[in-house]
Amino acid sequence: MGPVIDSVEPATLLDSETVHVGGKWRVDVETVDISGQRVKRDIVIHPGAVAVLVLNEHDEVLLIRQYRQALGMFLFETPAGLLDIPNENPLDAAQRELAEEAGLRAAHWNTLVDFYNSPGGSSEAIRIYLAQEISELPEGRVVTEEAEEVDLPSVWVPLSNAVDLVLGGELGNPTAAMGILAAWTWRSKPPRKLRDAHARWVAREGLKSIGRLPSV
């Protein structure tokens, strides 16, 4: 089987049809050969996203309350956004989202964790950064035209309390849950080493190599 590490080994593609092109992603129906079986799969071709786990000097994490139409719910989330600006560096995108959604900047950045949001049917890969040494932007939030970002109330929650909220089922946003649990693990004794903020994003490179990123 080899080392325990994700690898790019696409199945043989027999046919592909784009059935929907939306504002940010598209849906392809692919016919592939998997272990000798001819199967069809619906695939969301997604540009990917970044998120920011903001940790202040009091060991508190920043959570933003934002509406999500797909669920009909308000969720407490970390600052996050799509990688839908052509050729934008992921770290630059994370810093932009922090400014737009929280009116904050950070002097110290690390790569916290990478993950696939729904690998059974979507190519969405997400990188969560850890942002520390926080300060407010003098001009406040950088306001966008997004309806969901008109009003973004925020709260600082002690990291240990945030872990309890995730484990108790009270926080379900994936970047918030993943970021909180990853930050708690990093804080454990002995502390784990984090990657540099400019670390290679191998998962995204693999998706690009097999055409799994839409043209944005």
Which sequence positions are flagged as catalytic? 149
Q: Give the chain's largest Cα–Cα span.
A: 60
Q: In what order do the strands lie in the sheet with 12-21?
A: 12-21, 26-34, 37-45
CA distance 122 to 53: 23
Residue 208's identity, in one-letter code, is K
